Amino acid sequence: MMNVLNHIAIAVPDMSTAIAHYRALGAEVSQPQDLPDHGVTVVFIQLQNTKIELLHPLGENSPIAGFLEKNPTGGLHHLCFEVEDLGAAIDTLSDVGARVLGNGQPKIGAHGKPVIFAHPKDFHGVLMEFEQA
C-alpha cells in the first residue's frame, strides 16, 4: 500500500522565520499557498528525495492552531505517503482497524490530489496522510 514518502509536515508558529531558516540552509522554498478547506497555509521545501511541508494556521478553526497551542515552538505534524489506489488504502486501513479522520472521504490536498488522514493513535502517535499517486 505505502509507496513513496511524499513529505514530512512540520507545524510552525512563524512561517517567515521558518522560510528564512530553510533558505539560509540553501533549500529551494516554494511560495506560501493558502488551503482554506484544510485551515492551513503551506510552504514546500524541495529536497532530492522528498519534501518538507511547513504548516501554519489559516483562520480561527485551523487544526494547526490547536497543535501549536500544545506545541508552541512547532513540531512534527504528520508523514505523507503516496499510494497507488486511495480507495484500496481506505479499505486496508479499515481492515487493520485504523480510523480515517473526518468523514472518511478524501479531500483535495496541497498537490491537487485526493488525500486522507489516519488517526495518530492507530500509528504509534504519528498522524499519517495518504495521497493518491
129 is catalytic: yes
Question: Which residues does residue 42 pair with via DSSP β-bridges, in sequence order?
Answer: 33, 55
Residue partners of 36: CB distance under 8 A and separation at least 6: 58, 59
Of 132, 86, 111, 107, the C-alpha closest to 37 is 107
Q: Which of 60, 69, 82, 129 is catalytic?
A: 129
Residue 114, H or E segment:
strand 114-118
Q: Which positions are catalytic?
A: 129
